[in-house]
Amino acid sequence: MEGNADPRIYLAAERTFLAWIRTGVALLAFGFVVARFGMFLRQAERLGGAAPAVGGPGVSLYAGLGMVCTGVVVFIASAIRHGRYVRALDAGRFRSTFGSAFAFILVALLSFVGMALAVLLLSL
């Protein structure tokens, strides 16, 4: 702790890291649910006596897999960023090193996935 001796700064960085991990876990879980949603619809159609209207895995599988992969990317990126945060804090150069680009890119990506899922649900 050369650059900043206040432990609250490091604890705040760790809380942020844990928040990113929670975000990654949520993406993994929600991606799994979305990926299985198409299978659920096909099973519901079969139980109703109708042949499945859509063949193949459907859009929900690919959207879910995309969200799971995004969760994995969040895990990796958050671990790398946390290590960089701590090193930058130790060196006293935190303000000049970090911005919010990662968070904004993630929000844009998830907004796109959300809009695609909304269109998918409207078409059902």
Cβ(30)–Cβ(65) below 8 Å: no
Domain ranges, residue 77:
7-123
Average pLDDT value over all residues in the chain:
80
For residue 96 the two structure tokens come to: 């000049």
Q: Is residue 102 part of a domain?
A: yes
Q: Is residue 100 part of a domain?
A: yes
Residue 122 has pLDDT above 90, yes or no: no
Number of domains in the chain: 1
Q: Is residue 2 part of a domain?
A: no
CB atoms near residue 88 (< 10 Å): 19
CA distance 53 to 119: 18
CA distance 7 to 22: 23
Q: Looking at residues 60-84, what average pLDDT do you find?
A: 88
CA distance 18 to 95: 21
